[in-house]
A and B are shown apart, each in its own frame.
Chain A
Amino acid sequence: MAAAANEPQSVILTINDIEIEVPRGELIVESVKRIGLEIPIFCYHSRMKPVGMCRMCLVDVGFKQPDGSVRMMPKPQAGCTLPADNNMVVYTDTEKVRRDRKGVLEFLLINHPLDCPICDRGGECPLQNNTIFYGPSTTRYVEIKRHLPKAFPLSKYVTLDLERCIQCGRCVRFTEEISGDSQLAFRFRGAMMQPSTFELTDFESRFSGNVIEICPVGALTSAEYRFRARPWDLQTKPSICLECSNGCNTWFDYRVASLVRINGRTNEAVNEEWTCDKGKFGQNYLNSPDRLTEVFVRDGDKLIESNWATAFQQVSVAFQSAGSKCAALVGGKASNEDIFMLKRLFTEAFGSNNLDHRWTRCLPKSDALYRVATSIADFENEPVIFVFGNNIAEEQPILFLRIRKAWFRNDAKVIVACPEACEADTFAHTSLRYRPGTEAVLLGAIHRAATGAGGVDIAEASSITGVGEEAIRRAADAMKSGFALAASRSLLDLRNGEHVVGALSNLTIACNSSEKYNLFATSANEEGARQIEFMPSAEGKNTREILEACASGEMKALWLLECDPLSLSHDNELVTKALETVEFLVVQNHIKSECVQFASVLLPACAFSEKDGTYTNLERRVQRIKPIIAAKGSAKPAWKSFGELLLRMKGDPPPFHAHEVMQLIAASHQKFQSAIYENLEGEGVVIPANQSTEPQAVDVEYTAMEVPSNTP
């Protein structure tokens, strides 16, 4: 061991007579990229362990002998499994290597059907490309090819064409190493080897879309994209996903102004290159006929189509007469610019401070409870991670992948506390499955076990929560010397949410990990709204108070931006009453939602693919989106409509471009100064957290809460 520690961390080898220095243990297939060369590959994937299944990456390898001569290995070596070493001599383009590659490709093509014209992969297929660059021009194989079922629907999203499979194992390794569900495995052997699920049952994974992208042939194709376009028909622009708060980077492929498919875009700091199925297949609402494309105003019982001028007229009259008795609520898909301009409209033109973006049941005042300290990428190197609350794979799929990677690559201890079975259990150091409603008690018990004081008695907690004493102690043992917390703000939806979150905060303080406390946002730009402080100040009303005031008739006018309170709020009765009662309701959204029926004015907004703007993800990373397709109908970006309304009411010159709005944001919120548009190319910018004082322990009731049996 001591000798190994003294060895230099880099080695010098020669590739095609060029001497380069690379880190010890780097694979040849990666090293050659340093001198601008590429070795053809199929099975190798830089994020997964090498297996050397396809033999496409063969290179000629030799070693320099002490006498200065070079002794070549008699056979070519697979570049994807061979780590670089001192005195190594590699040739990537000799006659022998070229001949070997031809041979490998000829073998791969023995059973691969030549149905490229109808294959969805045709045009972006590594097998096609490698065959053209390195393969033989003809085949000597005249026998009948292997015949297997075509277009087998492996799941709702994934179609499996076994004839096309070249058995590289990328998909199998993905489910084993990255997503961790091990849903795919090779069945049978030899030429009949088939990647498939257990007895071809449904492929139930949250990340099944990724295997479509990593498949080097058309064996795994998307059921949604099937036959919809060829790669050369498509135009591709970078975008980001708004389905959850992770802010994954995506490629937005569109054809004739409609979305065709979403692919993952590499951003090492956020999603590496993966997407979840929600983000990859859940964006079809953009093409939906339910999109809101025209302005409507209420005339008696029905909404009639109108124009922006009429709508602005009605809105300005109604909101001005309401005075401070008006309010605005936003949902998670509004951009930073939208939120800022709406805030400006309300504070400057309407003189109201009844603004909120939070939809949880509990709305703690303390900013410290909402803090987020650890970035997504940092989770990879955390030795102990405490995942608390709802199923993280469902709420924050990409963060889940990072936490799994921390365990898979770096042996992190992951303690999972979740009331139901979840994916994270499969690699948990300790899995604490508590009864719903007993969150605070469990946290109290861990607190007591970790610090020996405070909290609640462990034995008592064990009987209340249904978690074994042993497990609580084991978890506390792992956590007491510090841990990173991964919990989401959906905990605040619990009836005692404030206490649960307070207990979490106390636990992190007790374990000296308060700088690793994270309570993550759950919707795309929730964190952005918090950073822009789209919240009531002292005299303003919060979400619940706004809805109550609307229901009692005290609030005269309400503006709903990109939100459907009926689906966001836990109290549908109150929401329905509020929407029915409020005199003037503006609904501004990119899609028709249920609350449209109550609206006085319906304003169409641009969806994310149609507007310029920025979104702030859960780690406060500000990322830019650019308009990709033209706005539908008379829809316009929400911030633009607020600017125009401000112009009407106050005569302020409106911003003409989103970057001007960002400058305004930066002028009023110091932390956004690094996020001006010039800086947002690439991975985006993480804005600093609020300067808060040292978090203080809060008083918490460690008691269980009755949960009606019908709600899990």
Chain B
Amino acid sequence: MDVIQISDLRGRPRAPRPEEVNLNFSEKAVRELEQLLNHYPDKKSAILPCLWIAQREYGGYLPSEAIAEVALRLDRSYAEIEGVATFYTMYHVGHPTGKHLIEVCTCLSCHLCGAYRLADHIKSKLGIDWGETTPDGMFTIEEVECLDACDRAPVLQISDQYYGPVDDKTVDAILEKLKSETSPSTVRLADEIVQAQLHKRDQEKVSGN
């Protein structure tokens, strides 16, 4: 968990004024948000899906500009959006993740089937620890709670895909395959979640028919 740093006590930054916030959502994202807002009685309710759109638009994580943009688009305060985004672990606030997010389940079944050993193998192979990203920006590894696939323990989730049961060899093969895949699967995951929120007729409206 992030612990805030007292870097400089004087001359502290102030939150950006609304006019200083760059709006970076693509046209498609704006149309998607419009459709999503129809689902809810007020804009506050759309915070979670809108954060997913932002996570997709900003490349798989939420920099502070993304939070500011969501806040502005939903007429909420920055702090409130940041509070929501930092509460949920699937939003990655502040730090960019790798293109592929390896989530290792370490709950009971997976633990018994060697999840930590498996994780150690991945960590030593990629040279990173929990929550870190490889220098080439390809992989981030995270420890997660039960993925609800105990029958396939030990199980990994790499962005939108489950792999299990896996052992060192199969993991090596998976990582090898992913290395050649340059389009970030974290963005794909965010997009899938956004699409899942939209009804069919919404999607039609977004695509302009």
Contact = CB atoms under 8 A, between A and B. Distances in A.
- Whether the complex brings A and B within 8 Å at their CB atoms is answered yes
Interface of A: 147-149, 152-153, 162, 176, 181-189, 192, 194, 196-202, 204
Contacts of B41: none
B173 interface: no
B67 interface: yes
Contacts of B142: none
Interface stretch (B52-60, B74-82, B194-202): B74-82
A181 B15 contact: no
Contact of B82 (A147, A181, A192, A198): A198
Nearest to A201: B15
Nearest to B64: A199
Interface stretch (B1-9, B105-113, B115-123, B158-166): B1-9
30 contacts: A148-B4, A149-B4, A149-B5, A149-B6, A152-B6, A153-B9, A153-B12, A182-B76, A182-B77, A182-B79, A185-B82, A186-B83, A187-B82, A188-B1, A188-B2, A192-B1, A196-B4, A197-B79, A198-B68, A198-B77, A198-B78, A199-B64, A199-B78, A200-B4, A200-B12, A202-B13, A202-B14, A202-B15, A204-B14, A204-B15
B87 interface: yes
Contacts of A198: 15, 64, 67-68, 77-79, 82
Nearest to A160: B4
B134 interface: no
A477 B9 CA distance: 50
A443 B209 CA distance: 45
B159 to A, nearest CB: 23
Contacts of B5: 149
DSSP class of B's interface residues: helix, strand, loop or mixed? loop
Given A181-B77, A187-B86, 13 more contacts: A149-B4, A152-B4, A153-B9, A182-B76, A182-B77, A186-B83, A196-B4, A196-B79, A198-B82, A199-B13, A199-B82, A200-B4, A202-B12
Contact of B14 (A181, A194, A201): A201
Interface of B: 1-6, 9, 12-15, 64, 67-68, 76-80, 82-83, 86-87
Contact of B87 (A152, A184, A188, A204): A188
Contacts of A162: 4
A197 B6 contact: no
A333 to B, nearest CB: 32
Between A148, A162, A184, A188, the greatest number of chain B beta carbons within 10 A of the residue's beta carbon is seen for A188
Between B5, B9, B80, the greatest number of chain A beta carbons within 10 A of the residue's beta carbon is seen for B80
Contacts of A199: 13, 15, 64, 78, 82
Contacts of A188: 1-2, 86-87
A223 to B, nearest CB: 11
Given A188-B87, A201-B14, A183 B79 contact: yes
Nearest to A193: B87
B4 A185 contact: no
Contacts of B68: 198
B44 to A, nearest CB: 11
B1 to A, nearest CB: 5
B4 A183 contact: no
A149 B5 CA distance: 7
A156 to B, nearest CB: 9
Between B15, B68, B76, the greatest number of chain A beta carbons within 10 A of the residue's beta carbon is seen for B15
A184 B4 contact: no
B97 to A, nearest CB: 18
A200 B8 CA distance: 11
A201 B13 contact: yes
Nearest to B80: A185
A619 B68 CA distance: 41
**Closest 8 pairs between A and B when the two form their complex, measured CB to CB:** A182-B77, A198-B78, A185-B83, A185-B79, A201-B15, A202-B14, A198-B79, A187-B86
Contacts of B83: 185-187
A185 B4 CA distance: 15
Contacts of B86: 187-189
Contacts of B77: 181-183, 185, 198
A197 B82 CA distance: 9
A153 B10 CA distance: 8
Contacts of A176: 80
A148 B83 CA distance: 18
A266 to B, nearest CB: 28
A468 to B, nearest CB: 19
Contacts of B15: 197-199, 201-202, 204
A162 B13 CA distance: 19
Nearest to B68: A198
B6 A182 contact: no
Nearest to B94: A199
A149 B4 CA distance: 7
Between A147, A153, A187, the greatest number of chain B beta carbons within 10 A of the residue's beta carbon is seen for A187
A183 B77 CA distance: 7
Nearest to A186: B83
Contact of A189 (B13, B67, B82, B87): B87
A149 B13 CA distance: 18
A451 B14 CA distance: 45
A636 B76 CA distance: 52
